[in-house]
Every structure is written in structure tokens, then in C-alpha cells.
Amino acid sequence: MTIVRTTLYVDGVPLPDGSDDVSPASARQRAEERGGFAWIALVDADADELERLGEELGVHPIALRESLRTHQRSIFERYGDDVFVVLQPARYDDASETVRCDEVDVFLSEALIVTVTRSDRIDVDDARRRIEGHPDLLRHGPSAVLWVLMELTTGGYRAVLDGVENDIDEIEDQIFGDDPGVSRRIFDLQREVIDLAHATTPLPDVLARLASAMQDPRLGREPARWDDLRGRAQYVADRVLSMRHTLDDALTIHATLVNQRLDEKMAHLTEVQVRQNDQVKKISSWAAIGFAPTFVASVYGMNFRFMPELDQPWGYPMALGIMVLLSAGLYGIFKRNDWL
């Protein structure tokens, strides 16, 4: 269900008769008659309701179509005398390490500002109370509301950046440990930072174009503080970019460390295999040396009747000599080939 909040401001003060009972078109007409402006806040408006109110308020049709689709970036467009701005307020859930960006669409024209939000996480009533606490600012016209919304949006990024930065610090400590889940954590946080970059990177250009557009007196007298907001937005965009580079470097370093540990394990495994091969060679060599006299002895132990050397006095010494020569020869061969 669409919620409509209508407020009339004259000379920086909300009018008592500018209640939610006043239709949006009547609110704009009264604001023009009294030299003030109307703020129409739409919450959770569906496409049909938004189109109807847009036609009633005279919102540019192209800007209206832009508002009907979801955006991932902060944008600024000007359609004739109307300004269309998309803001991306963000919040950070430290428990799940996720960045949640909401969308605020703003239509700004002479004596009128319309805000469209699709989430109850954006407290429009709180924003109104904050804005009404600065009547001097509201005297500048509808652009003052946009300025405050932009100020709240850019100011809210500080907590998000601090939360992400704290997790990056934890990751930097975690990288040099042996935690297999750190690569997944880096990747997930990279994705969140990219979403945050979509919201923050266009902001400096959006604010520069807004500062130029606000020179139009029909949109309200320039609050002369857009440059301050642009400086803050540039700082936010630079920090987000730095975080992206840090996470890229962290992922690279982690991959390098993983490869290094793998190489160390492979080197250790190779060393073990070499030692095992040396042991196998030695065992095989001694087995071969031991087998030579055993073979000769087994031949002479077959007890054949007709073996000429059995009747000779030199037969026994000859058999022993063959055993010794075979063993010595094998030992020399294995020693030369570094098997022993």
C-alpha cells in the first residue's frame, strides 16, 4: 500500500494546513501561491500509483519511467526544467558482512520535491524532522531537502566504510594464518565492496552536476554548500576504491601464500620420496649382494652325483672364492652407481 506524506514549507517553516489530507496537486498549488514549496514523500508506491501521481504533479514522463525501474548506481538526469536524482543510502551488517543499498528517487522542480522510497529501512519521517530543524536551510527552497537527503546519504557511508575496513583488517591478519576459508571471505567482501562502489563512485559527478543545476532560481536558492558534499563524496569514493585494491591485493597475496605452502609441501614430499628411494636402493643392493653367495651355495647344495669339482681338493675353496668375487663385484658396481 502506498503511503503519501505531504508537507508545505513557506519561509522555511512547515504550514499547519500542509497535512497529509491535502492532495499532492493541491499542495503544489498552495506552495506556489505562497512562495514556498511542497514535499511529497511516497513510500512503497507501485507502478500504477506512481504513474498517476506523476501525471497529477506534472512530473516529466521520462523521469517517471526511470523511477519505475530499479537502479544500482547513483544517477543525475535533467529533463527540461525537472531534475531526477537517484540516491543509494547504504548500511553494513557486520555479522553477515553484507552491504545493503536502498534506493531513493528524487524529482525536483519548481516549488516541488517528490521522494520515492521502496523500503521501510529509510525513515522518511526522521529525515523530515531533521530537515525541519534547519529553517534557515529550508528557506533556500526544494533544493534544501535534496541537499539534506544527500548529506544524510553521504554521512551514512562513514559507518559502512568503517565496518568494511574493520573486516579488511581482520582479513589481513587472517591471511598469514592457515585458514582455508579466508579466500571465500575475501571474495564475498569484494562483491559487497563492488556494490558499494556502484553507489558511491558516481556521486562526485552527480554532485558537480547538481551544483550547476541548482543555479537555476526556479529550483530554489543555492545553499552554497554543494562543494562540501562533493568533497565528502569524493573522499568516500576514494576510500571504496582503495578497499577494492586492498582486497584484490589480499586475494593475490593469499593465492601466493597458498602456492608457496603447496610448493613447500611438494618439496617435503619429494624429499621424503628421495629418501625412500635411497633406502629402497640400499635394501635392494644388499639383497642382491646377499643373494649371490646364496645362489652359488644352492647350486652346490643340489647333491648331483656327477659334479667334477666335488672330487677335487680345490672344489670347496673355489666355491667360496666365487661367492666372494660375486659379492665383491656387486658391491663395487652398486657403490659406483651410488646405491650404497
**In angstroms, rounded to a whole number, what is the distance separating the alpha carbons of residues 127 and 5?**
12
In three-state form (DSSP H/G/I as H, E/B as E, the rest C), the secondary structure along the chain is CCEEEEEEEECCEECCCCCCCCCHHHHHHHHHHCCCEEEEEEECCCHHHHHHHHHHHCCCHHHHHHHCCCCCCCEEEEECCEEEEEECCEEEECCCCEEEECCEEEEEECCEEEEEECCCCCCHHHHHHHHHCCHHHHCCCHHHHHHHHHHHHHHHHHHHHHHHHHHHHHHHHHHCCCCCCHHHHHHHHHHHHHHHHHHHCCHHHHHHHHHHHCCCHHHCCCCCCHHHHHHHHHHHHHHHHHHHHHHHHHHHHHHHHHHHHHHHHHHHHHHHHHHHHHHHHHHHHHHHHHHHHHHHHHHHCCCCCCCHHHHCCCHHHHHHHHHHHHHHHHHHHHHHCCCC
- The CATH T-level fold of domain 3-259 is Beta Polymerase; domain 2 (3.30.460)
pLDDT at 234: 93
Instruction: Write down the domain spans for the chain.
Output: 3-259, 262-336
What is the percentage of the chain residues whose pLDDT exceeds 70? 86
* pLDDT, tens only, 171-195: 878 887 777 778 888 888 888 899 8
pLDDT at 120: 62
Predicted TM-score (pTM) of the model is 0.71
Cα→Cα distances 197→88, 117, 158, Å? 11, 21, 14
* pLDDT, tens only, 22-46: 777 788 888 888 888 888 888 877 7
**In angstroms, rounded to a whole number, what is the distance separating the alpha carbons of residues 85 and 104?**
8
pLDDT at 233: 92
pLDDT at 129: 83
**In angstroms, rounded to a whole number, what is the distance separating the alpha carbons of residues 39 and 18?**
10
**In angstroms, rounded to a whole number, what is the distance separating the alpha carbons of residues 85 and 12?**
23
pLDDT at 80: 80
pLDDT at 267: 75
The sign of the CA dihedral 146, 149, 153, 159 is: positive
Q: In the chain, which residues have pLDDT < 70? A: 1-2, 17-21, 119-122, 216-224, 296, 299-316, 330, 334, 339-340
Which residues are CB-contacts of 192 (< 8 A; sequence separation ≥ 6)?
A: 97, 98, 99, 164
